[in-house]
């Protein structure tokens, strides 16, 4: 992790970018320099650890598997008993089933019936699949051609005692929850949840339950932000709607910054409004206002209010979601203790729509990724792309990311897509 930079105004002046149009990658880089992950941890039951981030390495207290065991249903034999040039007949001395091992050693001329997962009995060193023997009563005939040690899973092959099974900084998915349980571990240390306070700004906004008067609209940003934060595993502090009034805003910023690790607002950062919020935030902390070379989501503010990180997102509902996913998400994961934060995969597919695009900024168009009858994937846009049209996000299952230098897109061109849905 880089040294945190104390003064955001210093970087806004010192770095070699045009403050009127900050490239997306540069903005991410600058934000990344300030992020100091939480360190406090708590111990939770393994089931409750789903979605949380490991605060310590999980070290295996056992060998996995614990014993040499069979990978097949068949017979455990001594390889030295087998012949290179003809069948050998062995006596079946007993059985080793999963959970019911053979007690004793396999002697020369003997074998043991064994099922998948059964402990390999002493003396035996090779498993012959049942399909490869001729069984008759308590005798089996085995043809030549079996390799010593075949079909056997060795003790500790998966994990050895003392080996790190899972690393600190990992987000726990069902696979990890299962793995921890397979080690007999019932509790793990996870980082405390990141506390994120958020509010909407705007005189025109009303919350659900109130009757909008003429010119007023329902606040939706607070609800999408609530959803996005909850999905990321944050503890959320919903501070409601704050009017465009300096006194009320100052109070809200102060309250949010003293109760949370991160403060997120929407609205009030575009030109005109920004001057007023700018003065306020310069008084309360160190905040830079960026015009990002992107669409949607051009205005964005980032900085510190006391110890809290601040993200001032634009007001338009689609811009809120795009800037959240492109800047805030990764930052919150870093702050939550995720290490490393894996980049979201993107890949290229043909675009079936024709897209209007001006070079000079990165665009995040809302797309639908779909498969044709032959199984080939392609992407198209979700119709109207206005930054106020939240339906474009709802219909989308991907972002179509058009890089800075890209111009108009003709159908059939390969475009980069970022999938919105995750399997696990």
Q: How many residues bind ligand AMP (CB under 6 A)?
A: 18
Contact partner at residue 309 from ligand AMP, Mg ion, none, CB < 5 to 8 Å by partner kind: none
Q: Between 273-284 and 246-259, two packed helices, what is the crossing angle to 10 degrees?
A: 50
Query: Rounded to whole angstroms, how far apart are CA atoms 278 and 288?
Result: 8
Distance of closest approach, residue 224 Cβ to ligand AMP, in angstroms? 9
Query: Rounded to whole angstroms, how far apart are CA atoms 363 and 366?
Result: 10
234, 226 in Cβ contact below 8 A?
no
Using CB under 6 A, pick the residue from 268, 285, 296, 303 that binds ligand AMP: 268
Taking phi over 0 as left and psi of -120 to 50 as alpha, with beta for the rest, 337 belongs to left
Give the residue with the Cβ less far from Mg ion, 245 or 384: 245
Using CB under 6 A, pick the residue from 219, 261, 330, 363 that binds ligand AMP: 219
> Is 238 one of the binding residues for ligand AMP (CB under 6 A)?
no
- For 75-131, the DSSP string reads EEE-GGGS-SSS-EEEEEEEEEBTTBPPPSBPPTTEEEEE-TTPBPPBT--EEEEGG
The pair phi, psi for residue 166, each rounded to 5°, is: -140, 140
Distance of closest approach, residue 303 Cβ to ligand AMP, in angstroms? 17
Distance of closest approach, residue 244 Cβ to ligand AMP, in angstroms? 8
Query: Rounded to whole angstroms, how far apart are CA atoms 182 and 180?
Result: 5
Give the residue with the Cβ less far from ligand AMP, 387 or 406: 387
Stretch that binds Mg ion, among 7-15, 43-51, 195-203, 212-220 (CB under 5 A): 195-203
Contact partner at residue 266 from Mg ion, ligand AMP, none, CB < 5 to 8 Å by partner kind: ligand AMP
Distance of closest approach, residue 240 Cβ to ligand AMP, in angstroms? 10
Using CB under 6 A, pick the residue from 266, 323, 326, 385 that binds ligand AMP: 266
Using CB under 6 A, pick the residue from 56, 57, 158, 204 that binds ligand AMP: 204
Stretch that binds ligand AMP, among 97-105, 126-134, 266-274, 302-310 (CB under 6 A): 266-274
Report the DSSP pairing between strands 164-166 and 74-77: unpaired
DSSP state letter for 171: B
Using CB under 5 A, pick the residue from 74, 123, 169, 202 that binds Mg ion: 202
380, 366 in Cβ contact below 8 A?
no
DSSP state letter for 172: P
- By rule CB under 6 A, what string of x and - marks binding of each residue 146-185 to ligand AMP? ----------------------------------------
Contact partner at residue 220 from ligand AMP, Mg ion, none, CB < 5 to 8 Å by partner kind: ligand AMP
Q: Is 134 exposed, middle or buried (0-12, 13-18, 19+ CB in 10 A)?
A: exposed
> Is 270 one of the binding residues for ligand AMP (CB under 6 A)?
yes
User: What is the distance in angstroms between the CA of the first residue and the CA of the last residue of the chain?
Assistant: 28
Binding site for ligand AMP (CB under 6 A): 200, 202, 204-205, 217, 219-222, 266-268, 270, 273, 314-317
């Amino acid at each position: 992790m880089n040294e945190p930079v104390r003064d955001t105004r210093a970087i806004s002046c010192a770095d070699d970018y045009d403050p009127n149009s900050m490239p997306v990658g540069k903005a991410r880089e600058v934000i990344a320099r300030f992020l100091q992950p939480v360190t406090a941890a708590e111990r939770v039951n393994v089931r409750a650890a789903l979605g949380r981030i490991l605060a310590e390495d999980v070290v295996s207290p056992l060998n996995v598997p614990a014993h040499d065991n069979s990978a097949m249903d068949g017979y455990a034999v001594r390889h030295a008993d087998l012949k290179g040039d003809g069948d050998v007949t062995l006596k079946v001395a007993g059985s080793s089933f999963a959970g019911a091992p053979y007690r004793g050693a396999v002697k020369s001329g003997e074998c043991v019936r064994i099922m998948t997962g059964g402990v390999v009995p002493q003396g035996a060193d090779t498993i012959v699949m049942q399909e490869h023997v001729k069984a008759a009563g308590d005798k089996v005939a085995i043809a030549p051609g079996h390799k010593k040690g075949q079909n056997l899973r060795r003790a500790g092959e998966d994990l050895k005692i003392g080996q790190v099974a899972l690393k600190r900084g990992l987000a726990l998915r069902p696979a990890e929850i299962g793995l921890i349980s397979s080690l007999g571990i019932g509790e793990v240390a996870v980082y405390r949840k990141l506390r994120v306070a958020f509010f909407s700004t705007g005189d025109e906004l009303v919350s659900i339950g109130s009757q909008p008067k003429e010119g007023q609209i329902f606040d939706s940003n607070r609800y999408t932000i609530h959803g996005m934060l909850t999905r990321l595993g944050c503890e959320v502090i919903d501070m409601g709607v704050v009017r465009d009034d300096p006194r009320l805003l100052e109070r809200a910023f102060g309250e949010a910054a003293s109760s949370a690790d991160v403060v997120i607002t929407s609205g009030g950062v575009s030109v005109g409004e920004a001057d007023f919020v700018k003065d306020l935030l310069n008084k309360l902390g160190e905040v830079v206002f960026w015009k990002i070379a992107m669409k949607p989501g051009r205005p964005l503010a980032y900085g510190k209010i006391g110890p809290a990180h601040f993200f001032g997102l634009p007001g338009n509902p689609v811009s809120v979601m795009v800037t959240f996913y492109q800047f805030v998400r990764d930052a919150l994961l870093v702050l939550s203790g995720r290490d490393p934060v894996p980049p979201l995969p993107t890949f290229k597919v043909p675009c079936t729509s024709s897209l209007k695009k001006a070079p000079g900024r990165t665009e995040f168009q809302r797309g639908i990724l779909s498969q044709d009858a032959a199984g080939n994937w392609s992407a198209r846009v979700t119709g109207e792309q206005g930054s106020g049209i939240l339906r474009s996000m709802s219909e989308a299952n991907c972002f179509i990311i058009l890089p800075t230098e890209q111009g108009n897109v003709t159908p059939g061109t390969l475009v980069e897509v970022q999938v919105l849905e995750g399997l696990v």
